Amino acid sequence: MSDFFTFSDPNVRLVTAGTILLGISAAIVGTFTFLRKRALVGDAIAHAILPGVCLSFMITGEKHPAYLLVGAVLAGWLSLLVMDYLSSRTKLSTDTAIGAVLSVFFGAGILLLTSIQHSGSANQAGLDQFLFGKAAAMTQRDIWVFSGVAVVLLGLVLAFFRSFKLISFDPAFAKSIGLPVRRLEFLLSTITVLAVATGIQAVGVVLMAALLITPAAAARFWTDRIQVMILLAAAFGLLSGLFGSWISYTAPSMPTGPWIVVLLSMIAVVSVVVAPKRGIWARLRLQRSNARKIRQENILKAFYGIGEAADAPVATVAVDMLRQQRPFEDIALQLGLRELVKKGLLHKHKPGSYALTPTGLQESRRVVRLHRLWELYLTERMNYAADHVHNTAEAIEHVITPEVEAALLRELDHPILDPHDAVIPYQNPSKPSAS
Amino acid sequence: MKTAIETHNLTVAYNRRPVLWDIDFQIPEGQLIGVLGPNGSGKTTLLKSLMGLVQPSSGYVRLFGQSLDEVRSRISYVPQRESVDWDFPISVREVAVMGRYRKHKLLGRLNKEDHRLADEALEKVGMLSFADRQIAQLSGGQQQRVFVARALAQQADLYLMDEPFAGVDAASEEAILSLLKEMKQAGKTVLIVHHDLHTAHQFFDWMVLLNTRLIKCGPTSSVFTADYLKQAYGGQLTILSQVSDLVKARDFPIRERSFKDQPK
């Protein structure tokens, strides 16, 4: 491992640097592909490039990277034109057009590849590596050409960043202020084709879409700012390129390209799970905290209900009384009671017997108040029948924020009774009671 | 009064089906103009062809007596809110400052003045305190106000707005409406595609009533009559729509080749 990371071997240094650069440029260009919702198009372009590469080899008889790039770009562009034509001029839907172009071009590419391999050309060795990439087998000349292209692409994206952002977000507005939208889209598409054409050196035609789209998709989970998103996507491209090269260096039978994609996928999976706010983990936690809140507030409500029925604040309440008041699940009830004691809203007298603390009493009044306010709002303002509002209010009482509560109080003018003639409890019971 | 907008024989077809047919009208400067008509009557298409976003099959548009390209910097366009992806990762301020982009500054940077004008526009629609929020976190009405702010930042003389009141809460409606009045006082012309007949006659002082063809264009009092509204909304145009269907089904051209468009 240390061998690799000292980068003392100039060849390792070069291959790694090249791979990283290709990864970064694909990730940054891919951010716009992702934001314009054209991920599938990116995949189709990557596959469609294969026949171009094969043809340029058949014509020139050489594997010079510049020739291969020209072939790749021409084929990529042709595929874009065909997709556009099919979806705008025929009755085929866009996804059909993309699928058709992908498979027809790729099929043609495989056909050409097979015929090259059977032609016995001395120079043909390694052409099939376009399928899955050949990062470690890149020659110095390859690396210089492809890295050069990658740097140019990065420069272009940087220079046109503002315009690309606008045409990705709102192309109609961009056109209305006179931006040359068609030409900018042409430029962005060409950049994408070039990024794909260079990227397939690292990961190959089949996996290219992953290098283009996955970094952006993963980055989107972490941020709401396009600038941060692009930097994150670039960082993901960099990391996967670096560690992909490292793995194939330490375990020589391991291919670089597939490893890069595996690493990117791992980054994406981690992002989907742990990213704040958008991640699965964050959503689960939010749901759990909602469930906790509902559990606790229902118990508080039961305490209030018992006190209300007795027409006097009850000193202590046995757990059995709570069960009679409301059909709690046993585990939830025990859990909720413990949480409430911990929060200082309940006071445990002896095993199986609890009392509300002063804050607990306030809190129980609040929940009941929200329930009854919402019932009143539904009957008074939304014309629901009084016997139809309870179940809705059972759910809504837990979501209402202090701002909404204030709005409800204003709207209903601090009402005294709910639709079932129960008293709405206020924080400082200064309002005259109904009885 | 000078003319702000005029169209001549404006005809637009989508997939060969005519959506606007021979529209001719003139609108003076300094008015709040409502474009009204039933669903699918070509309101949005009219706006898009004024803005050069759809290519007319025939006819032409003049803004302030000139072609669009000559006066583009004086025109501002507010697309329908649903036309963009509000989950796009940018902030409110970034959207507003897009109103300061210029075609000859494709690569150049925005300067302090641009940012100041964008913030000022956000202030006017009451969205400055949301400037750093991501746009997905806004309500529909707030998103619409951000779009209006972007248009204000353009500092144009003619504003073309597509359904700015659709799906908008009361507070946003009020904010936009009072802004429109302010703009009118400043001598701006505002053309608005609107769907709600109940509010239309209070909002606008001029109206364009459409249903594929032009029903009537003029001051509200002369257009907003039972007779014209019935023509726009009530009457079934069976023969006209039959012919539209024919044109589409047979892939017919909407104009013959000899037709002359613009007088040069």
pLDDT number for residue B229: 85
B75-78 and B158-162 as β-strands: parallel, antiparallel, unpaired?
parallel
| Residue A289 pLDDT class (50, 70, 90 cuts) | very high
- For residue A169, the chain B residues in CB contact (below 8 A) are 84-85, 88, 90, 95, 98
pLDDT number for residue B242: 66
Q: Is the pLDDT of residue B181 over 80?
A: yes
Is B77 close to A180, i.e. CB distance below 8 A? no
Is B134 close to A225, i.e. CB distance below 8 A? yes
Average pLDDT for A224-251: 93
pLDDT number for residue A433: 41
What gap in Å lies between CA A340 and CA A386, rounded to an integer? Answer: 32
pLDDT digits (tens, 9 = 90+) for A78-98: 999 999 999 888 888 999 999
The answer to whether the beta carbons of residues A397 and A371 sit under 8 Å apart is yes
Choice between B191 and A253, residue whose per-residue pLDDT is larger: B191
- For residue A160, the chain B residues in CB contact (below 8 A) are 106-107
pLDDT number for residue B194: 92
pLDDT digits (tens, 9 = 90+) for A249-277: 888 778 888 899 999 999 999 999 999 88
pLDDT number for residue A70: 92
Task: Give me the sheet containing B3-14, strands edge to edge.
Answer: B17-28, B3-14, B58-63
| A47–B contact, CB cutoff 8 A | no
pLDDT number for residue A30: 96
Query: Dihedral sign, CA of A123, A125, A131, A132?
Result: negative
Q: How far apart, in Å, do the first and last CA atoms of chain A sit?
A: 82
What gap in Å lies between CA A375 and CA A180, rounded to an integer? Answer: 57
Average pLDDT for B134-156: 94
- For residue A35, the chain B residues in CB contact (below 8 A) are 88-89
Is A172 close to B101, i.e. CB distance below 8 A? no
| A403–B contact, CB cutoff 8 A | no
pLDDT number for residue B260: 61
- For residue A176, the chain B residues in CB contact (below 8 A) are 51-53, 75-77, 79
pLDDT number for residue A123: 62
Query: Dihedral sign, CA of A89, A92, A97, A100?
Result: negative
pLDDT > 70 in chain B, percent: 89
Average pLDDT for B125-137: 93
Looking at the domain that runs over A282-356, which CATH code has it been given? Answer: 1.10.10
What gap in Å lies between CA A198 and CA A196, rounded to an integer? Answer: 5
Count of CB pairs separated by less than 8 Å, A with B: 74
Q: Give the three-class secondary structure for A52.
A: helix
Ranges of each domain in chain A: 2-276, 282-356
Average pLDDT for A48-60: 91
Q: How many CB atoms lie within 10 A of CB A235?
A: 15
CATH 3.20.20.150 fits A2-276, yes or no: no
pLDDT number for residue A434: 39
Nearest-CA distance B243 → chain A (Å)? 22
Domains defined for chain B, CATH in brackets:
3-249 (3.40.50.300)
Mutate to test the interface with B, among A36, A88, A165, A170 (most CBs of B within 10 A): A170
Average pLDDT for B249-258: 68
Average pLDDT for B47-52: 94
Output the CA–CA distances (angstroms, integers) from residue A238 to A5, A7, A28, A45, in the order listed.
14, 16, 11, 23
| Residue of B82, B85, B75 whose CA lies nearest to A165 | B85
Choice between B27 and A6, residue whose per-residue pLDDT is larger: B27
Which ipTM was obtained for this model? 0.89
Q: Chain B residue with minimal CA distance to A164? A: B106
Nearest-CA distance A111 → chain B (Å)? 38
Q: Is the pLDDT of residue A122 over 60?
A: no
Q: Given A159, A169, A223, which is nearest B84 (Cβ)? A: A169
pLDDT number for residue A314: 67
pLDDT number for residue A4: 76
Average pLDDT for B68-78: 93
